[in-house]
Amino acid sequence: MWPFGKVAVDRQPVALPLFPLSTVLFPGGLLPLKIFEQRYIDMAKTCLKEGRPFGVCMITQGDEVAPARGAAPEFAKVGTRARIVDFDMPQGVLHVATRGDERFQVHDHAVESSGLITGQVTPIAAEPRVPLAEAFAPLANLLELVASRVGPQNFPAEHDYGDATWVGYRLAEVLPLPLHIKQSMLEVNDAAVRLKVLQQFLARQGLI
Protein backbone atom coordinates (compact mmCIF):
# COMPACT_ATOMS: atom_id res chain seq x y z
CA MET A 1 0.00 0.00 0.00
CA TRP A 2 1.15 3.54 -0.68
CA PRO A 3 2.05 5.61 2.41
CA PHE A 4 -0.40 8.37 1.59
CA GLY A 5 0.08 11.92 2.81
CA LYS A 6 -1.17 12.87 6.24
CA VAL A 7 -4.03 15.34 6.37
CA ALA A 8 -3.62 18.17 8.86
CA VAL A 9 -6.18 16.91 11.37
CA ASP A 10 -6.21 20.13 13.38
CA ARG A 11 -7.71 22.13 10.50
CA GLN A 12 -11.31 22.13 9.36
CA PRO A 13 -12.16 21.65 5.68
CA VAL A 14 -12.31 24.87 3.69
CA ALA A 15 -14.02 25.70 0.40
CA LEU A 16 -11.82 25.65 -2.71
CA PRO A 17 -12.88 26.01 -6.36
CA LEU A 18 -11.74 22.94 -8.27
CA PHE A 19 -10.52 22.63 -11.85
CA PRO A 20 -10.57 18.95 -12.91
CA LEU A 21 -8.02 18.38 -15.67
CA SER A 22 -6.44 15.53 -17.59
CA THR A 23 -3.13 16.19 -15.90
CA VAL A 24 -1.46 16.07 -12.49
CA LEU A 25 0.02 19.17 -10.86
CA PHE A 26 2.79 18.67 -8.30
CA PRO A 27 3.86 21.07 -5.54
CA GLY A 28 6.34 23.53 -7.00
CA GLY A 29 5.45 22.59 -10.57
CA LEU A 30 4.43 24.88 -13.41
CA LEU A 31 1.16 24.49 -15.27
CA PRO A 32 0.16 26.83 -18.13
CA LEU A 33 -3.55 26.86 -18.93
CA LYS A 34 -5.70 28.20 -21.75
CA ILE A 35 -9.13 28.89 -20.27
CA PHE A 36 -12.14 29.49 -22.51
CA GLU A 37 -15.09 28.16 -20.51
CA GLN A 38 -16.87 31.03 -18.79
CA ARG A 39 -17.10 29.28 -15.42
CA TYR A 40 -13.33 28.91 -15.25
CA ILE A 41 -12.67 32.40 -16.62
CA ASP A 42 -14.83 33.78 -13.81
CA MET A 43 -13.06 31.54 -11.30
CA ALA A 44 -9.63 32.70 -12.46
CA LYS A 45 -10.65 36.35 -12.37
CA THR A 46 -11.87 35.94 -8.79
CA CYS A 47 -8.64 34.19 -7.81
CA LEU A 48 -6.61 37.00 -9.36
CA LYS A 49 -8.66 39.73 -7.72
CA GLU A 50 -8.59 38.14 -4.27
CA GLY A 51 -5.16 36.52 -4.44
CA ARG A 52 -6.61 33.09 -3.84
CA PRO A 53 -5.68 29.69 -5.25
CA PHE A 54 -7.83 27.08 -6.95
CA GLY A 55 -7.46 23.33 -6.88
CA VAL A 56 -6.29 21.07 -9.70
CA CYS A 57 -7.52 17.47 -9.58
CA MET A 58 -6.89 14.74 -12.13
CA ILE A 59 -10.00 13.60 -14.01
CA THR A 60 -10.67 9.89 -13.50
CA GLN A 61 -13.80 9.73 -15.66
CA GLY A 62 -15.36 12.31 -17.96
CA ASP A 63 -14.08 15.22 -20.01
CA GLU A 64 -12.41 18.55 -19.28
CA VAL A 65 -15.00 20.39 -21.36
CA ALA A 66 -18.43 19.49 -20.01
CA PRO A 67 -21.39 19.33 -22.43
CA ALA A 68 -24.29 21.67 -21.81
CA ARG A 69 -26.04 20.60 -18.62
CA GLY A 70 -23.75 17.57 -18.60
CA ALA A 71 -22.58 15.78 -15.50
CA ALA A 72 -19.40 16.99 -13.83
CA PRO A 73 -16.40 14.71 -14.36
CA GLU A 74 -15.24 12.34 -11.66
CA PHE A 75 -11.85 13.27 -10.24
CA ALA A 76 -9.13 12.12 -7.85
CA LYS A 77 -9.63 13.13 -4.23
CA VAL A 78 -6.05 14.29 -3.79
CA GLY A 79 -5.03 17.39 -5.73
CA THR A 80 -2.75 20.40 -5.59
CA ARG A 81 -3.53 24.05 -5.03
CA ALA A 82 -2.56 26.25 -7.97
CA ARG A 83 -1.68 29.92 -7.72
CA ILE A 84 -1.79 32.19 -10.76
CA VAL A 85 1.57 33.85 -11.27
CA ASP A 86 0.94 35.49 -14.66
CA PHE A 87 -1.88 35.92 -17.16
CA ASP A 88 -2.90 37.32 -20.55
CA MET A 89 -6.16 37.30 -22.50
CA PRO A 90 -5.66 37.52 -26.27
CA GLN A 91 -8.75 37.04 -28.44
CA GLY A 92 -11.04 36.14 -25.55
CA VAL A 93 -9.03 33.14 -24.33
CA LEU A 94 -7.52 33.53 -20.87
CA HIS A 95 -3.92 32.32 -20.69
CA VAL A 96 -2.68 31.79 -17.13
CA ALA A 97 0.62 30.56 -15.75
CA THR A 98 0.15 28.70 -12.49
CA ARG A 99 2.45 27.23 -9.88
CA GLY A 100 1.65 24.26 -7.67
CA ASP A 101 1.37 24.91 -3.97
CA GLU A 102 0.35 22.44 -1.23
CA ARG A 103 -1.54 19.21 -1.75
CA PHE A 104 -5.05 18.72 -0.40
CA GLN A 105 -7.67 16.05 0.09
CA VAL A 106 -11.26 16.52 -1.07
CA HIS A 107 -13.84 15.42 1.48
CA ASP A 108 -16.96 16.61 -0.32
CA HIS A 109 -17.91 18.77 -3.28
CA ALA A 110 -20.85 20.55 -4.86
CA VAL A 111 -21.56 21.69 -8.42
CA GLU A 112 -22.77 25.26 -8.81
CA SER A 113 -25.35 26.32 -11.41
CA SER A 114 -22.49 27.58 -13.60
CA GLY A 115 -20.94 24.11 -13.57
CA LEU A 116 -18.06 25.18 -11.33
CA ILE A 117 -17.14 22.55 -8.74
CA THR A 118 -16.40 23.71 -5.19
CA GLY A 119 -14.73 21.24 -2.88
CA GLN A 120 -14.46 21.02 0.87
CA VAL A 121 -10.76 20.28 1.30
CA THR A 122 -8.10 19.93 3.95
CA PRO A 123 -4.38 20.44 3.31
CA ILE A 124 -1.93 17.56 3.31
CA ALA A 125 1.25 18.17 5.27
CA ALA A 126 4.18 18.99 3.01
CA GLU A 127 6.96 16.45 2.78
CA PRO A 128 10.12 17.50 4.59
CA ARG A 129 13.31 18.09 2.65
CA VAL A 130 15.12 14.76 2.38
CA PRO A 131 18.77 14.56 1.24
CA LEU A 132 19.05 12.65 -2.02
CA ALA A 133 20.64 9.23 -1.47
CA GLU A 134 23.64 8.32 -3.61
CA ALA A 135 21.67 5.48 -5.19
CA PHE A 136 19.36 8.05 -6.77
CA ALA A 137 22.09 10.36 -8.09
CA PRO A 138 21.55 9.12 -11.70
CA LEU A 139 17.95 10.33 -11.44
CA ALA A 140 19.06 13.83 -10.48
CA ASN A 141 21.60 13.83 -13.32
CA LEU A 142 18.91 12.85 -15.82
CA LEU A 143 16.56 15.49 -14.47
CA GLU A 144 19.23 18.17 -14.81
CA LEU A 145 19.69 17.18 -18.45
CA VAL A 146 15.95 17.33 -19.08
CA ALA A 147 15.74 20.75 -17.42
CA SER A 148 18.43 22.12 -19.72
CA ARG A 149 16.52 20.93 -22.77
CA VAL A 150 12.99 22.04 -21.89
CA GLY A 151 14.15 25.56 -21.05
CA PRO A 152 13.59 27.80 -18.02
CA GLN A 153 10.10 28.82 -19.16
CA ASN A 154 8.92 25.21 -18.73
CA PHE A 155 10.80 24.29 -15.57
CA PRO A 156 10.75 25.77 -12.05
CA ALA A 157 13.38 28.45 -11.56
CA GLU A 158 14.30 27.21 -8.09
CA HIS A 159 16.43 24.07 -8.35
CA ASP A 160 17.21 21.64 -5.53
CA TYR A 161 18.85 18.56 -7.00
CA GLY A 162 19.96 17.49 -3.54
CA ASP A 163 16.36 17.14 -2.27
CA ALA A 164 14.80 13.72 -2.88
CA THR A 165 11.26 15.13 -2.71
CA TRP A 166 11.96 17.89 -5.24
CA VAL A 167 13.72 15.50 -7.65
CA GLY A 168 10.86 13.00 -7.40
CA TYR A 169 8.18 15.59 -8.06
CA ARG A 170 10.00 17.05 -11.04
CA LEU A 171 10.72 13.64 -12.59
CA ALA A 172 7.11 12.54 -12.14
CA GLU A 173 6.08 15.71 -14.01
CA VAL A 174 8.35 15.33 -17.02
CA LEU A 175 8.39 11.56 -17.56
CA PRO A 176 5.82 10.04 -19.97
CA LEU A 177 4.05 8.13 -17.22
CA PRO A 178 0.40 7.05 -17.38
CA LEU A 179 -1.74 9.57 -15.56
CA HIS A 180 -2.78 7.12 -12.85
CA ILE A 181 0.90 6.53 -12.04
CA LYS A 182 1.54 10.28 -11.90
CA GLN A 183 -1.41 10.57 -9.53
CA SER A 184 0.02 7.85 -7.29
CA MET A 185 3.35 9.72 -7.28
CA LEU A 186 1.45 12.77 -6.03
CA GLU A 187 -0.36 10.85 -3.32
CA VAL A 188 2.57 8.90 -1.94
CA ASN A 189 4.18 10.68 0.98
CA ASP A 190 7.60 9.04 0.95
CA ALA A 191 10.33 10.45 -1.28
CA ALA A 192 12.32 7.20 -1.34
CA VAL A 193 9.29 5.14 -2.42
CA ARG A 194 8.54 7.67 -5.18
CA LEU A 195 12.12 7.61 -6.46
CA LYS A 196 12.28 3.80 -6.41
CA VAL A 197 9.20 3.58 -8.63
CA LEU A 198 10.61 6.19 -11.02
CA GLN A 199 13.99 4.45 -11.03
CA GLN A 200 12.36 1.17 -12.03
CA PHE A 201 10.47 2.87 -14.85
CA LEU A 202 13.61 4.53 -16.18
CA ALA A 203 15.58 1.32 -15.96
CA ARG A 204 12.92 -0.53 -17.99
CA GLN A 205 13.13 2.23 -20.62
CA GLY A 206 16.93 1.92 -20.72
CA LEU A 207 17.38 5.57 -19.69
CA ILE A 208 19.56 4.88 -16.67
Q: What is the pLDDT of residues 47-67, one digit of tens each?
A: 999 999 999 999 999 877 665
| Contacts with 137 (C-beta within 8 Å, 6 or more apart), sequence order | none
Q: Is the pLDDT of residue 92 over 80?
A: no
Helices and strands, number each (H, E), in the chain: 5, 7
Alpha carbons within 13 A on the beta-carbon side of 73: 20
> Is 14-123 assigned to CATH 2.40.160.40?
no
- Among the listed residues 77, 76, 81, 130, the one whose alpha carbon sits nearest the alpha carbon of residue 103: 81
CA 88 – CA 125 distance, rounded (Å) = 32
What CA–CA distance (Å, rounded) separates 20 from 122?
A: 17
Prediction pTM value = 0.89
Phi/psi of residue 80, nearest 5 degrees = -135, 135
Which CATH architecture group holds 134-204? Answer: Orthogonal Bundle (1.10)
Q: Write the pLDDT tens digit of every residue in 101-129.
A: 999 999 999 999 888 999 999 999 999 99
Q: Please report how many Cα atoms fall inside a 13 Å half-sphere around the Cα of residue 185, on the Cβ side.
A: 31
- Beta carbons within 8 Å of 48's beta carbon, 6+ residues apart: 84, 87
Model confidence at 69, in pLDDT bands (50, 70, 90)? low
How far apart, in Å, do the first and last CA atoms of the chain sit? 26
Q: Could you state, in order of their start, the residue ranges of all structural domains in the chain?
A: 14-123, 134-204
Q: What is the pLDDT of residues 16-31, one digit of tens each?
A: 999 999 999 999 999 9
Residue 2's pLDDT is: 42
CA atoms 56, 59, 63, 69: torsion sign: negative
